[in-house]
Structure formats: C-alpha cells, structure tokens
Amino acid sequence: MNILKQAQRAKEASLKLAVLNTKTKNTALIAIAKALKRNSNAILQANKKDAEETKKSGLNDALIKRLMLDRHKISEMTEEARSVARLEDPAGRVLSQVELDKGLMLYQVACPIGVIGAIFESRPDAVVQISALCLKSGNSVILKGGSEAKNSNRILVEIISKAAEKNGIPKGAVQLIETREEVAEMLKLSDYISLIVPRGSGSFVKYVQEHTKIPVLGHSEGICHVYVDKYADMKKALDICFDAKCQYPAVCNAMETMLVHKDIAKRFLPLMIKKFRQAEVEIRGDEKTRKIVKGIKKAAEKDWKTEYNGLILSVKVVNDLNEAINHINRYGSRHTDAIATENMKNAEEFMDKVDSASVMWNASTRFADGFRYGKGAEVGISTAKIHARGPVGLEGLVIYKYKLVGKGQVVKDYIGRNARKFRHRIIKKLL
C-alpha cells in the first residue's frame, strides 16, 4: 500500500476514533497488553532475528543492546499499555463554557489532533508506548521505527492493531511504515498528518524538522546549563552539577556547560573539577577557569554550542548573573537550565529571564522528564515555542474544538441599530 493511501486510511480512522468513549479505548489498551503477553514467544523470535541480522551487518553493541527484548521488557511493555489505560482521558473535557447570549452557549471541548506521525530509532518498545498514548488520546498513528528492528516492529504493530480492532478501535488507527523513502513521503502529507513526533538523535530530529511543513513536537538538542551563583551553597552546587553531568551523561537533560560566578570560582572549581576528574569527565575551560585549575584544555567557541552526550564538560567563569543568563539564551537549546543559589532574588531573575522549557533552582537538570514531572507517560520533550513545551504528556496529543449551541440565532440581529448585545457570561474557564 502506498503512503498516501495509508495516511488517508489513518485519517478516516482518526475521525471515528475521535468519538470513541473512554471505556472503549481503555478496554482496547488492556486487550493490547494481554495480546502482547500472549504472543511473547513470537515477539522474542522476531526480535532475535533482528539482533542476528544487525550483528551480521556489523552495527555496534550499544545499538544491539537497545534493540534487544527479553521477557522482562515485554512485561514492562504490557505494564506500559495498562498504565496508559489508567491515565485520565485528555479528550472530551470542557475547557470553557461561555453564555454568549440567552440560549446561545459556547463550549470549548478538548479533542484529539487527528493523525500523528511517530518516527523513532532502534528501541522496539517505543511502538507500544507511542501507540498506547495515541489511542488513549483518540489519535491515529503511523509509526516508523528503526530499520534494524523491523521484524520486532512488524509483529508488535500486528499484535497491537489486531487486538485494537477486535475491541472497537477502527481499522487503520495504528499503522507501520518501514523505509526511509516512506518517511520522506509521509513528511509531505500535511493534508492528512497533523503532528510529527520524532524521537532519536539530534541530527535525526533536525532532518525531520527540516523536511516537513507538518508541526514537529520534540527537540533536536539538549545543551543544558547549570549556573553556580555567587550565593550558591557549596554542597548543593557540587551535588547538582555532578548529578546533572554524571548521573546519565548520554541523555538530553544532562549538563553540557557549567557557568560559575567569579566570586565563588576559586573555592568551587577546584573541588568540583576534582570530583569530575575522578568520574573521568574531560573539562574544557575558558581562560579564567584554566587559571584557577591547572591542566584544563581550552574551550573553543564551538564548545559552548556542543551537546557532548558524554563525559565532556565545558566550563566558563562569568562576572555576574546577567552574563550567565545571556550566555544561556545565546548558546543554549532552550531545553533545561538550572541555577544553584541561596539568593531568592537571583533565582527568580534566572528562572524568569532564561528562555528555556524548564528552568530550575537548586535541582538537577536531570529532573526534566515526563515521568519525574508526574505526567505518567511521556510523548517527548519539546523545545518548540508553541502548543506544548518541555516534557509533554498526553496533553500534547489533544487540541480543542468550539461547539456553539443555539436556538436559531443569526448574526444579523447583533449588528446595527437596536442590535442585541452579547452577554459573554463565563460559566467555566480553565485557562
């Protein structure tokens, strides 16, 4: 089937899916969880095939590790589907209600977006997570997983769509595409697909952003900062910076650049850098940093713009809070940035002025995550400036429509001499 046809089918399905009640959607999610469990052997077999083929093609071990499933991971996948069933349905809620005039009532009601295009790399468990989130919010989804997981993806989508259809989800709600050419085709179908959710490396997300007119929810880079203020508590600052860099260096919310106020640098930097060196973090510093601690490589202009995703850290000594804020707004990626300080005024100024999705005071940047933020499930982390920003849960997969209920009213009566006046009486208003 060609991609246009698939997208049309997904669109048709989405219109039906949008009006399903919560119970039907939840029943389908539970059925999906059961079907995954029941078909564990077949899933593991397909996954084994992927792993073997990937090994033959000489891809690296880290990738193969990410790709591989076992019984525990299948349990986790089924639990994921069940936990999405337990989340509140984001569609259907009345967000506002305004009586425009007597007998003319306006409702603003949350509803699904339509068709989501989800593109992700190697991990096949993403198939389950993303399908569950889309079904729960009432959206169709077209999935494209990593080609090295093609057998796993294929069987997972087959199990999911079969179980879903048996339980009242319209045919075509969960579909798979497999090749890069199909992705390129999909990115053009803005008449049918309303949102692209890419997960993967920065360069991959950038490719997606640059090749589509469909809105993209995600982030290509996580250049996160911690600023150690003049008024920082030494222990907190040491702990936060170490956690932000070392707890999991390969992820988008890890620290890439540490900014240190000049008045605390001489006390703070020797202790901090000692700690980092013990953890084998390579430091690249500006002139002032290199004067305070010996044996540090010089940071180039490029370092301030680099997401290392590993055990490298750039360090800069700044003259004041303002220089720190300006540095972050200039070089950062608007993802997550933190300040360590005991000075409330400075903390508030930092959080107000830093133009990032998450800003933090005395906490590690690693907290920027859908689960930790209490969202239950995460669609992704967005550095866009519209729709949904930061860690995005189910709320990012819905929009709203207006429903106006009248008794035959016409606009003519509200215009000109003796015009009827609108009441605009607010009955409910969440935002």
Write out the binding residues for a second copy, residues 314-333 only, by CB under 8 A: 329
SS3 381: strand
Q: How many residues sit close enough to a second copy to count as binding (CB under 8 A)?
A: 78
Does 233 contact a second copy by CB under 8 A? yes
> 132 and 81 in contact (C-beta within 8 Å)?
yes
Q: How far apart are CA 249 and CA 227, in angstroms?
A: 18
Residues in 205-224 at the binding interface with a second copy, rule: CB under 8 A: 209-210, 213, 215, 217
Output 212-218 pairs: Cβ under 8 A, ≥24 positions apart: 212/187, 212/188, 214/117, 214/187, 214/189, 214/190, 215/384, 215/386, 215/387, 216/384, 217/379, 217/380, 217/382, 217/384, 217/387, 217/388, 217/392, 217/396, 218/380, 218/381, 218/382, 218/383, 218/384
Within 8 A by CB and 6+ apart from 21, the residues are none
Q: Cα separation of 196 and 204, whole Å?
A: 13
Residues 6+ apart with CB under 8 A from 278: none
Judged by CB, which is closer to a second copy: 317, or 359? Answer: 359
Nearer to a second copy, 62 or 405 (CB): 405
Rounded to a whole number of angstroms, the minimum distance from the CB of residue 381 to a second copy is 11
Calpha distance 256→281 (Å, rounded): 11
Is residue 247 a contact point for a second copy (CB under 8 A)?
yes
The answer to whether residue 79 forms part of the interface with a second copy (CB under 8 A) is no
Is residue 239 near a second copy by the rule CB under 8 A?
Answer: yes
Q: Is 196 in the site for a second copy (CB under 8 A)?
A: no
Separation CA 193–CA 210 (nearest Å): 16
Strands across the sheet containing 282-285:
297-298, 282-285, 312-318, 255-261, 224-228, 336-340
- Residue from 62, 184, 415, 419 touching a second copy (CB under 8 A): that is 415
Q: Which stretch binds a second copy (CB under 8 A): 26-34, 57-65, 170-178, 348-356?
A: 348-356
List 98, 119, 134, 273, residue binding a second copy (CB under 8 A) = 98
Closest CB to a second copy among residues 54, 364 = 364
Q: Quick check: 123 binds a second copy (CB under 8 A)?
A: no
Contact status, residue 188 vs residue 212, Cβ threshold 8 Å: yes
C-alpha distances (whole Å) from 57 to each of 60, 61, 204, 348, 368 are: 9, 12, 21, 52, 36
| Collapsed DSSP state (helix, strand, coil) of residue 313 | strand
Residue 204 interacting with a second copy (CB under 8 A) = no
d(CA 233, CA 246): 20
Query: Quick check: 416 binds a second copy (CB under 8 A)?
Result: no
132/193 with CB nearer a second copy: 193
- How far apart CA 178 and CA 121 sit, in angstroms, is 12
Identify residues 3-32 at the interface with a second copy (CB under 8 A): 15, 18-19
Which CB sits closer to a second copy, 65 or 372? 372
Closest CB to a second copy among residues 112, 124: 112
Q: Segment near a second copy (CB under 8 A), from 25-33, 39-47, 62-70, 421-429?
A: 421-429
Looking at the Cβ atoms of 166 and 401, the one nearer to a second copy is: 401
Residues 261-290 that bind a second copy (CB under 8 A): none
Does 343 engage in binding with a second copy (CB under 8 A)?
Answer: no
Kindly tell me which of 38 and 235 has the beta carbon lying closer to a second copy.
235
Q: Is 168 in the site for a second copy (CB under 8 A)?
A: no
Residue matched to tokens 């690693």:
366
Q: Which is nearer to a second copy, 123 or 389 (CB)?
A: 389
User: What minimum distance in Å lies between the beta carbon of 96 and a second copy?
Assistant: 9
Q: Does residue 417 touch a second copy according to CB under 8 A?
A: no
Considering the rule CB under 8 A, would residue 72 count as an interface residue with a second copy? no
User: Cα 218 to chain center, whole Å?
Assistant: 5
Q: How far is the CB of 402 from a second copy (least distance, A)?
A: 4
Q: Which residues between 353 and 412 bind a second copy (CB under 8 A)?
A: 353, 355-364, 366-368, 372-374, 384-387, 389-391, 395, 399-412
Q: Which of 4, 63, 95, 311 binds a second copy (CB under 8 A)?
A: 95
Cα separations in angstroms, 140 against 80, 87, 118, 156? 18, 18, 10, 16
